[in-house]
Amino acid sequence: MDLETAVRTRRTHKVYGAEPVDRATLDELFTLATWAPNHHLTNPWRFRVLGPNALERLKDAVGPEGAKKLDRAPTLVVVSSAKHEDPVQDEEDRDASAVAAYLVLLAAHAKGLASYWRTPGVLRTAAGQAAVGIDGTQEHVLGLIHLGPKRQEQPAPPRIPAAEVTTYLD
Q: Check: pTM over 0.85? Answer yes or no.
A: yes
Q: Residue 1: is its pLDDT beyond 90?
A: no
pLDDT digit string, tens, across residues 81-93: 999 999 999 999 9
Rounded CA separation 113/97 (Å): 21
pLDDT the model gives residue 153: 86
Domain 3-164 carries which CATH code? 3.40.109.10
pLDDT the model gives residue 156: 87
pLDDT digit string, tens, across residues 153-168: 888 889 999 999 999 9
Q: Residue 152: is its pLDDT beyond 90?
A: no
pLDDT the model gives residue 38: 94
Tell me the mean pLDDT in the region 9-24.
Answer: 95
pLDDT the model gives residue 57: 97
pLDDT digit string, tens, across residues 32-76: 999 999 989 999 999 999 999 999 999 999 999 899 999 999 999
What residue segments make up the domains of the chain, in order of their start?
A: 3-164
Rounded CA separation 38/122 (Å): 28
